[in-house]
A and B are shown apart, each in its own frame.
Chain A
């Protein structure tokens, strides 16, 4: 079986290519996805090989991209939409939450909307405003949508294919600052045997406390765990992978083992995923907990100017500070 070292971006590109090969109904659409290969080149070379009817440069209209994809999906296609940056999904928000998410329910199951909405998200690349946001909670809050995020190249390659093959509408969040990070990718094998899309995964086992993360923060938490190990603390890192629905069973198992938990995300804390997770753990694992579930997150402010984003983003030190607090209880 072929294992290759790929960047997360290239892994997504390869996964998209395979999806286009495997199903003639798959179409990719978005702004600049064709000739340019997307502003991050995630669709690089796909239009050249599959033609401009399968890889479609759309007008510059996010609402139009999602709205026309709904029609294509009803007609039997499997559209994969690229939203160029997180901060530009909001013009399409109405279509996503009011149409995409509800079509199946409203039609009492007679219509499927098997579409994937790819969004490069999160900060850390020194971008201007509207290019660094974490909008996951908006979508996770909406019934009818599934929300996933990949944290390494292996998951990127498999999860994008699983998302496209799924009949659910899926918001697929790509941690843009990890696009250039490399890792091994197992390229062969049937999709059904790949690690399930909706399962969380322990990416580093440990005994003293659990770090829960997803997307860009998985790497940060792994680094924090390595640093903590030098101080004699064994942290377990769990990659949630799917944000809606959450794989709470895996979460509870880990927290029951370690007795302490810190949830880490870039998005603001107020009504963020961490709040939900902390509440659930408190409800389910109360007697296993040595201390309250803590959150290390972005602040409740608009994403700040890039010269202060390092202060805004949870980093290794802030994660370790959170860990210290959970032990200080």
Chain B
């Protein structure tokens, strides 16, 4: 969150909105919780499949903060993609199109909540207050993720698909065993994964465990319609959110391109978890606008018209339309946010280019918490070997 921007994480005393947005009541698609249409119309409240009513009540400042988040995150992602193209990153997994799902759910987290991401959660990482340079170091190959997961309550990126859902489950069981659930101050845990990951044994096993241990856990699936080249139909024959029923906890599908609904649904599920009501599954229905990663070639498996139809549901465009229609902001606001995004991305680029390669001998560090004599010996030998090149070009 930008400095001086109250945003939506500052809860509690909340100023009454100055211009109450016009809202339509009810929801069109019972399978999709939506609070902001692609045209930028506000929907006052929407109902989930189990009758839960979802609504949000944001101040104008909070709306502005969310818009700013979306734009900054998109720009950071675009900058990283460009850096990869220029050979500065080995790889980049873009979140283009998924900003609302990530910012909505990320801003719904309270400081005490713990998140377990995949490799694509740059927007959530940003919401957790982590320096956006961090994932770039990972993808540049100078480290394997440099933030402190405990300090930021945001775990390491996980590349093995689905593995983190079990880590999240165990962590959430620990929260419950520590007696940290049961009230407003309770802790909740969120596990991020993709639609492809729902096929993994680990994810299914974590559903089972979370359910029977009543873990304070929110499964947050970003269904971006593809697992690299494979479409959703290759992973499932039922809507993913309905899986939850078979494991014994609630599931809901939210419009993942709607930051307000993503926020509302996640906040509700987290609150249930922190109050001791166990896990739930959120399917954020969204779309991966770009390639799976920079090494992918989506033209091999995806048609242009599909991409276009999702372009019309863009998460940023609809927030912009809403803010304009409601006269919450004027044009200068958009220009100011764009300028901030530009400045931050230039800074980011400079810092990435300045990132040094690690010293060779550091690769021996942290293999074991208390060290290992054999490894120490290997390190010494290698140091001597390197030193034997002293004076030469090595």
Please give the residue numbers on chain A whose beta carbons come within 8 Å of chain B beta carbons, in ascending order. 31-32, 34-37, 39, 57, 59-61, 63-64, 87-88, 90-91, 126-131, 270, 299-302, 304-308, 311-312, 318, 321
Given known contacts A59-B199, A305-B141, A311-B360, A128 and B227 CB-to-CB distance under 8 angstroms: no
B301 in contact with A36 (CB, 8 Å): yes
Q: Is B71 an interface residue (CB 8 A)?
A: no
Give, as a whole number of angstroms, the nearest-CB distance from A49 to chain B: 16
Q: Which residues of B contact A36 (CB under 8 A)?
A: 228-229, 297, 300-301
Interface window among B172-180, B207-215, B374-382: B374-382
A59 in contact with B235 (CB, 8 Å): yes
Q: Is B1 an interface residue (CB 8 A)?
A: no
Interface string of B219-260 (1 = CB under 8 A from A): 000000001111000110000000000000000000000000
Nearest A residue (CB) for B375: A300
Give, as a whole number of angstroms, the nearest-CB distance from A58 to chain B: 8
Nearest B residue (CB) for A321: B385
Nearest B residue (CB) for A309: B141
B385 in contact with A126 (CB, 8 Å): no
The interface residues of chain A, by DSSP majority, are classed as: loop
Give, as a whole number of angstroms, the nearest-CB distance from A312 to chain B: 7
- Contact partner, B378, options A129, A299, A307, Cβ 8 Å: A299
8 Å CB interface, B153-182 against A: 159-161, 163
- Contact partner, A32, options B139, B230, B360, B367, Cβ 8 Å: B230
Nearest A residue (CB) for B364: A301
- Contact partner, B357, options A35, A63, A308, A318, Cβ 8 Å: A308
- Contact partner, B201, options A35, A91, A300, Cβ 8 Å: A91
Give, as a whole number of angstroms, the nearest-CB distance from A89 to chain B: 10
- Contact partner, B141, options A32, A90, A307, Cβ 8 Å: A307
Nearest A residue (CB) for B356: A307
Q: Is B336 an interface residue (CB 8 A)?
A: no
* 10 tightest Cβ-Cβ pairs between the two chains A and B: A306-B141, A59-B199, A36-B229, A60-B196, A304-B363, A311-B360, A307-B141, A307-B357, A61-B199, A35-B301
Q: Which residues of B contact A301 (CB under 8 A)?
A: 363-364, 367, 375
Q: Is B318 an interface residue (CB 8 A)?
A: no
Q: Is B274 an interface residue (CB 8 A)?
A: no
* Bound Cα distance A308, B140 (Å): 11
* Bound Cα distance A39, B230 (Å): 12
Q: Is B282 an interface residue (CB 8 A)?
A: no
Interface string of B114-147 (1 = CB under 8 A from A): 0000010000000000000000001111111000
Given known contacts A60-B197, A301-B364, A311-B363, A306 and B160 CB-to-CB distance under 8 angstroms: no
Give, as a whole number of angstroms, the nearest-CB distance from B375 to chain A: 6
Given known contacts A57-B234, A60-B227, A128 and B360 CB-to-CB distance under 8 angstroms: no
Please give the residue numbers on chain B whose beta carbons come within 8 Å of chain A beta carbons, in ascending order. 90-91, 119, 138-144, 159-161, 163, 196-197, 199-202, 227-230, 234-235, 295, 297, 300-301, 357-358, 360, 362-364, 367, 374-375, 378, 382, 385
B141 in contact with A126 (CB, 8 Å): yes
Q: Which residues of B contact A318 (CB under 8 A)?
A: 385
Q: Which residues of B contact A312 (CB under 8 A)?
A: 363
A300 in contact with B378 (CB, 8 Å): yes
B363 in contact with A127 (CB, 8 Å): no
* Bound Cα distance A186, B199 (Å): 41
Nearest B residue (CB) for A94: B201
* Bound Cα distance A62, B242 (Å): 24
Nearest B residue (CB) for A310: B360
Q: Which of A39, A59, A61, A64 has most B Cβ within 10 Å? A: A61
Q: Which residues of B contact A39 (CB under 8 A)?
A: 228, 295
Listed A/B pairs (10) with beta-carbon separation below 8 Å: A37-B300, A63-B201, A87-B159, A90-B160, A126-B141, A130-B160, A305-B144, A308-B362, A308-B363, A321-B385
Q: Which residues of A contact B141 (CB under 8 A)?
A: 126, 128, 305-307
B199 in contact with A128 (CB, 8 Å): no
- Contact partner, A305, options B119, B142, B160, Cβ 8 Å: B142
Q: Which residues of B contact A60 (CB under 8 A)?
A: 161, 196-197, 199-200, 227, 230, 235
* Bound Cα distance A300, B91 (Å): 26
Give, as a whole number of angstroms, the nearest-CB distance from B99 to chain A: 23
- Contact partner, B234, options A59, A302, A306, A307, Cβ 8 Å: A59
B200 in contact with A61 (CB, 8 Å): yes
Q: Which residues of A contact B360 (CB under 8 A)?
A: 308, 311
Q: Which residues of B contact A87 (CB under 8 A)?
A: 159-160
Q: Which residues of A contact B234 (CB under 8 A)?
A: 57, 59
Q: Which residues of A contact B235 (CB under 8 A)?
A: 59-60
Give, as a whole number of angstroms, the nearest-CB distance from A9 to chain B: 15
A64 in contact with B199 (CB, 8 Å): yes
A129 in contact with B159 (CB, 8 Å): yes
Give, as a whole number of angstroms, the nearest-CB distance from A66 to chain B: 11
Nearest A residue (CB) for B385: A321
Nearest A residue (CB) for B137: A305
* Bound Cα distance A31, B163 (Å): 17
Further contacts, 4 of them, CB under 8 A, given A31-B228, A306-B90? A64-B199, A88-B161, A130-B159, A311-B363
* Bound Cα distance A32, B385 (Å): 43
Give, as a whole number of angstroms, the nearest-CB distance from A173 to chain B: 19
A61 in contact with B201 (CB, 8 Å): yes
Given known contacts A59-B235, A307-B141, A91 and B301 CB-to-CB distance under 8 angstroms: no
* Bound Cα distance A179, B76 (Å): 34
Q: Which of B90, B140, B301, B375 has most A Cβ within 10 Å? A: B90
Q: Which residues of B contact A34 (CB under 8 A)?
A: 229
